[in-house]
């Protein structure tokens, strides 16, 4: 017998019929008409090739056949199992469940979130979790998320694939930094001064903070002097302290990198810096991913990307 050719609702009707041994009462329990219940019994007899329920000798109710009596227990167990499947609600307990999370982070995200995430994980106490942090591969990240090779992505909003679910972790502005005692002095910046200073920038994929300033200035037919491009954010404070270079980054980055640099508002309305957490729609209701999303949000909350 091919299960795909059977209306599973008939099995529910059969269980009720075997319990009630009365077509009218079975119909009432299923909230259908007595003729409809009789029709279902007819279909069940065809499926099983057996009368299943026969009119009782005393004229009251029905008597199950030998096959029907044999079917009663396995049928009840099967339907109970199906009900458990339908009502199953997956759960996740970080203190009991073993789970490895693969999280792709750009360098901006690692500075803003990564270190705080590590620190927060230590406060969790004994657990069975493992976090694998890797650099995102812009050309492959959408496929990696779709395949489950990466659970979550934390990166700039313009680097989040459009097909992913996402929430904003940070949104704020940029500041320019220079060393104390810089020869330009401490006056507020104007556009000409900003463009003529010698700038450090970060290398990276299209859409990193390098592009924010240069794209905006190009739209205004202006260009700044970029004299050095660096592979790591951590190199910037040391170079700024020991040179006359300047650097423009999200305000929160300078808080993380060190507080002895002089910070200045930009002389133009720079685009907003937005860092997002993204995941594939397939895992939107995964309890473990839901827990980790909230955990990352908790790690992200203390960092503010507001200008100062």
Write the CATH number for 250.
3.40.190.10
pLDDT number for residue 226: 92
Residue 20's CB is within 10 A of a number of other CB atoms, namely: 19
Among 28-42, 103-117, 197-211, the least confident range: 197-211
Q: Specify the residue for token string 């790591």.
A: 232
Angle of helix 34-48 versus helix 9-20 axis, rounded to 10:
110
Residue 55's CB is within 10 A of a number of other CB atoms, namely: 11
Could you tell me if 290 and 145 lie in one domain? Answer: yes
247-300 confidence digits (pLDDT tens): 998 887 887 776 789 999 999 888 888 899 999 999 999 999 999 999 999 988
| Residue 306 located in a structural domain | no
pLDDT number for residue 1: 61
Could you tell me if 284 and 136 lie in one domain? Answer: yes
Domain of residue 287 covers 99-168+279-300
- Number of domains making up the chain: 3
Residue 137's CB is within 10 A of a number of other CB atoms, namely: 13
| CA nearest neighbour of 205 among 260, 141, 150, 277 | 141
Boundary residue ending a domain (30, 55, 86): 86
- Going along the chain, which residue ranges are E strands? 53-55, 62-64, 99-105, 129-134, 152-156, 165-172, 174-178, 198-202, 225-230, 246-250, 262-264, 273-279
- Give the pLDDT mean for 208-227: 81
pLDDT number for residue 206: 44
pLDDT number for residue 255: 74
Rounded CA-CA distance 201/29 in Å is 73
Could you tell me if 46 and 133 lie in one domain? Answer: no
- Six-digit token string for 146: 């779709």
Could you tell me if 157 and 221 lie in one domain? Answer: no
| Residue 195 located in a structural domain | yes
| Residue 109 located in a structural domain | yes
Q: Specify the residue for token string 């996740």.
A: 92
Boundary residue ending a domain (41, 56, 86): 86
pLDDT number for residue 306: 39
- Six-digit token string for 82: 């199906």
Could you tell me if 286 and 262 lie in one domain? Answer: no
| Residue 308 located in a structural domain | no
| Residue 29 located in a structural domain | yes
| Residue 238 located in a structural domain | yes
CATH code of 44's domain: 1.10.10.10
Could you tell me if 51 and 198 lie in one domain? Answer: no
Judge whether residue 18 has pLDDT over 70.
yes
Among 22-26, 209-213, 236-240, 304-308, the least confident range: 304-308
């Amino acid at each position: 017998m091919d299960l795909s050719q059977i209306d599973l609702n008939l099995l529910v009707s059969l269980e009720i019929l075997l319990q009630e041994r009365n077509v009218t009462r079975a119909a009432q329990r299923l909230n259908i008409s007595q003729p409809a219940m009789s029709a279902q019994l007819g279909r069940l007899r065809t499926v099983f090739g057996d009368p299943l329920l026969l009119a009782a000798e005393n004229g009251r109710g029905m008597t199950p056949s030998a096959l029907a009596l044999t079917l009663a227990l396995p049928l009840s167990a099967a339907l109970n199992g199906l009900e458990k499947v339908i009502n199953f609600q997956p759960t996740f307990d970080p203190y009991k469940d073993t789970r490895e999370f693969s999280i792709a982070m750009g360098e901006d995200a690692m500075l803003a979130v990564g270190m705080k995430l590590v620190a927060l994980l230590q406060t969790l106490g004994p657990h069975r979790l493992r976090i694998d942090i890797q650099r995102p591969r812009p050309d492959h990240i959408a496929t990696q998320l779709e395949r489950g090779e990466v659970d979550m992505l934390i990166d700039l909003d313009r680097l989040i694939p459009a097909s992913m679910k996402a929430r904003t972790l940070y949104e704020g502005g940029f500041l320019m930094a220079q060393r104390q005692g810089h020869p330009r002095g401490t006056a507020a910046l104007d556009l000409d001064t900003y463009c003529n200073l010698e700038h450090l920038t970060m290398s990276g994929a299209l859409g990193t903070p390098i592009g924010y300033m240069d794209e905006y200035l190009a739209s205004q037919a202006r260009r700044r002097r970029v004299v050095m491009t660096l592979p790591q954010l951590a190199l910037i404070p040391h170079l700024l302290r020991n040179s006359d270079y300047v650097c423009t980054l999200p305000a929160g980055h300078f808080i993380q990198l060190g507080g002895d640099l002089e910070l200045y508002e930009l002389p133009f309305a720079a685009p907003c810096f937005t860092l997002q957490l993204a995941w594939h729609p397939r895992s939107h209701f995964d309890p473990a991913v839901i827990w980790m999303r909230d955990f990352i949000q908790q790690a992200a909350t203390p960092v503010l990307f507001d200008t100062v």
